[in-house]
Amino acid sequence: MKFRKTKDMKSLENENWKANSQKYLKELQAFLDKAENIENEELRKEVIFQMLKCDNELTLLAEEMFEKYKSDREKSLKEYEDD
C-alpha cells in the first residue's frame, strides 16, 4: 500500500511556520514593545540581539526535529510498504 501526501501535508511543509503563528508573533511583538522601554540604547540593542540569537537557535532545533520526524515517518512508511 502506498501513501501519498495530501495537499494539506505538502502546504504545511512549505509554510514558514513561525511567521504563520499568531501566538508567536504576538509574543515577539510584546517582547519588542518592552525592549523599546530600555533607555540605554546599547543595552537595548544587546538584549534584542541576544533574544534573536536564542530565537534562531530554537528555530534551527525545531526544524531539525521536523526533519527527523519526517525522515522517521518516511522510513516507517517504507518498512510498512515492504512488508
| pLDDT tens by residue, 11-29 | 555 567 888 899 999 999 9
pLDDT surpasses 60 at 63: yes
The Cα 29–Cα 83 span in angstroms is 50
* Residue the block writes with cell 511583538: 29
pLDDT surpasses 80 at 44: yes
Q: Is residue 11 part of a domain?
A: no
pTM for the full predicted model: 0.65
Q: Is residue 34 part of a domain?
A: no
Q: Is residue 77 part of a domain?
A: yes
Domain boundaries, position 58? 41-83
DSSP alpha helix (H) spans, 1-83: 7-14, 22-35, 41-82
15 or 65, higher pLDDT: 65
If one counts the domains in the chain, the total is: 1
